[in-house]
Structure 1
Amino acid sequence: MKLVKKNIQSTARAVLLAESEAIRQAIDCIDDQFEQIVETILQSSGRVVVTGIGKSALIGQKIVATLNSTGTPSLFMHAADAIHGDLGMIQSNDVVICISKSGNTPEIKVLVPLLKRTGVVLVALASQTNSYLCLQADFVLNAHTEREADPLNLVPTTSTTVALALGDALAVSLLTARGFTSQDFARFHPGGSLGKKLYLKVSDIYPHHEIPTVSLRATVHEVILEMTSKRLGATAVADENGQLAGIVTDGDLRRMLNRFNLPELGDLHACDIMTPSPLCIHPDEYATHALKIMQERSITQLIVAIDNQIKGFIHLHDLLKEGLV
């Protein structure tokens, strides 16, 4: 095979342009029937079963993954395997989405009558709306494309892109109709940094730390010892009632050295060098909110408090360790 390296960039741009234009044209195919499909799935007591063959099967698997992660129970059934036993997974209250560019492949022609016999609602996702599949289906998701993106008009490119985009449109329409929240999303994505961003709270982190605290009248020496022993680079300052009065950080110590002469340091107390009314965060806040505050204020720790009662500290290193940064 002779390699042709010229015009590589223009070829890539032409592919992306063709696929983006096909998706733009698909927007015009969103009609009342699309809305009826969404409502049918919402009202169904079964699952969404997606089937297809070849590249359509791969697109179907991605659509199933997206539906499951956004609250619509789904499963994938390969069209070829369906007629060799996998049809047994179908229940009469399911909604089946069959993906096929032509809608006329031999496997689809065999499968469709078998699906109709089970009593399921059949949705066709196809490019040719006058195909066998579309004529037999209860609903049609029109994935019409003029041509594929390759020069030979043979490789499934534009057609699979449109099918995938319609699957995303369906999934997002369903989650919007259900009022799906980020908390719901977190239940299905508990692993990795994405899951942690959605469910990890300050209360999950701060109890692992000691609580550096000094009184208002603590000497500078006592302040430094407390900060050093607890290793958080800061200490809370509490009044005589144990209420939060301020915070002393490494930065406060450096500013102290600039403001006072060395002989004066022995006469200083925590109340003289602290930052009063420091920023705090509630234990029930999400860790991502703590990170946002730290980033906006260019600080590395926050006091965790409830109604001015000191509960602990959360440090930027905690968030780094959890993979939130």
Structure 2
Amino acid sequence: MSQIRQYAIDTFNAEADAVRRLSSLLTDDFDGAVSAILACTGKVVVTGMGKSGLIGKKIAATLASTGTPAFFLHPGEAYHGDLGMISRNDVVLAMANSGQTDEILKLIPFLQNNGNVVIAMTGNPDSTLAKNSHYHLNINVEREACPMNLAPTSSTTTMLVMGDALAIALIRERNFQPEDYAVFHPGGSLGRRLLTRVRDVMRRDIPRLSPDMTLGDVIIAISDARLGIAALVEDGKLCGVITDGDVRRAMARYKENFFNIRAREIMSREPKTIAPEARITAAEEMMRLNKIHSIVVADDEGQVIGVVEFFNVSVLG
């Protein structure tokens, strides 16, 4: 193994060890911090300077996208008017590995006078920031991954992981679901798939045929629709389906008698159906489990409304 690759492995091990150590540093303050955020009627204001600030921006974004309103406040800008962004019912998550960062400490008197709950995230429980907070989250590391023990590496990793732990605890306590997540991510593929309904992508021009039609007529109808499937309807309700695969198998089986066979003799009598209001993810799962490429869309009374195809589902991903 090259020495260069060993540097990478040493970094992985150092930061992994720092993360594993976090569980031993957890106290009741973590429970208190989560409870305070759950009880918050305002927003979570995340603030940090330098590398801590960069991690803070990610934590704020994670919280905001998982059901906890949050935003990042740059501490340097706070004393130039941005303190007005903090309301009395906000919870403030202040981050500084040393717990002694001047720009952060300058915020403390304002936050105390404003009545804000302060959650500190530092690597020093005895620091000024930790002692002037309601809850302290200890992200102490024994040593940075940096060989000089100077560049924030392990400490920023533990800071990020502690922020993720907060977010995950809040997700679980709020019973935050994939559908809720999609609401905040409507522009992404996940949002599109979780929010899209079957009615939004189904085709309405599925052939509706009588089960007494000959297979010759069925071939023409399926070919004209270019769907590869036809719904067989009797007394206004779905009674079966025929796919182009069914037709090919019937041709091989019946040979010269093929054109005399009626649709009901080869149709699938208990076809899978889905409601138009169902989520497209439900259609996708049904297709996957049943190894099919199309599902007839029908209402509660069994009337055919359309068909949803695998292609329409897959393009959303």
Tell me the alpha carbon deviations over residues 179-230 of structure 1, each in whole angstroms, 9 at most, x when there is no partner: 2222222221212211022221212222x43121110111122111211121
More divergent stretch after superposition (265-274 vs 56-65): 265-274
Superposition TM-score, scaled by structure 1 size: 0.92
1:218 corresponds in structure 2 to 213
2:6 corresponds in structure 1 to 10
User: Could you tell me how far apart the structure 2 residues matched to 1:311 and 1:79 are?
Assistant: 57
1:55 corresponds in structure 2 to 51
Task: Confirm whether residue 91 of structure 1 aligns to residue 87 of structure 2.
Answer: yes
**What does 1:1-325 align with in structure 2 at a 5 Å threshold?**
6-206=2-202, 208-239=203-234, 241-262=235-256, 264-306=257-299, 307-321=301-315, 323-324=316-317
User: Could you tell me how far apart the structure 2 residues matched to 1:72 and 1:277 are?
Assistant: 45
Aligned length: 316
Q: Could you say what secondary structure the match of 1:12 adopts?
A: helix
Shift of 1:170: 0.8
Q: Could you say what secondary structure the match of 2:25 adopts?
A: coil
Q: Could you say what secondary structure the match of 1:97 adopts?
A: strand
Shift of 1:297: 2.6
Q: Could you say what secondary structure the match of 2:106 adopts?
A: helix
User: Could you tell me how far apart the structure 2 residues matched to 1:68 and 1:254 are?
Assistant: 53
Q: Could you say what secondary structure the match of 1:20 adopts?
A: helix
Aligned AA (1:211): I
User: Could you tell me how far apart the structure 1 residues matched to 2:133 and 2:314 are?
Assistant: 52
User: Could you tell me how far apart the structure 2 residues matched to 1:181 and 1:150 are?
Assistant: 39
Shift of 1:164: 0.8
Q: Could you say what secondary structure the match of 1:276 adopts?
A: coil
User: Could you tell me how far apart the structure 1 residues matched to 2:280 and 2:83 are?
Assistant: 46
Q: Could you say what secondary structure the match of 1:28 adopts?
A: helix
Q: Could you say what secondary structure the match of 1:261 adopts?
A: helix
Alignment root-mean-square deviation, CA? 1.6
User: Could you tell me how far apart the structure 2 residues matched to 1:66 and 1:256 are?
Assistant: 55
Is the CA contact 2:295–2:308 (under 8 Å) kept in the aligned structure 1? yes
Is the CA contact 2:274–2:298 (under 8 Å) kept in the aligned structure 1? yes
Task: Point out where structure 1 has 5 or more consecutive residues left out of the alignment.
Answer: none
Q: Could you list the runs of 4 or more consecutive aligned residues of structure 1 that deviate by over 4 angstroms after TM superposition?
A: none
Superposition TM-score, scaled by structure 2 size: 0.95
User: Could you tell me how far apart the structure 2 residues matched to 1:287 and 1:220 are?
Assistant: 32
User: Could you tell me how far apart the structure 1 residues matched to 2:222 and 2:280 are?
Assistant: 23
User: Could you tell me how far apart the structure 1 residues matched to 2:112 and 2:97 are?
Assistant: 20
User: Could you tell me how far apart the structure 1 residues matched to 2:24 and 2:89 are?
Assistant: 30
Aligned AA (2:277): D
The percentage of aligned residue pairs carrying the same residue is 41
Tell me the alpha carbon deviations over residues 100-148 of structure 1, each in whole angstroms, 9 at most, x when there is no partner: 0111122223232333232211111001111111122121111111111
Is the CA contact 2:204–2:305 (under 8 Å) kept in the aligned structure 1? no
User: Could you tell me how far apart the structure 2 residues matched to 1:100 and 1:238 are?
Assistant: 69
User: Could you tell me how far apart the structure 2 residues matched to 1:292 and 1:178 are?
Assistant: 26
Shift of 1:52: 0.5
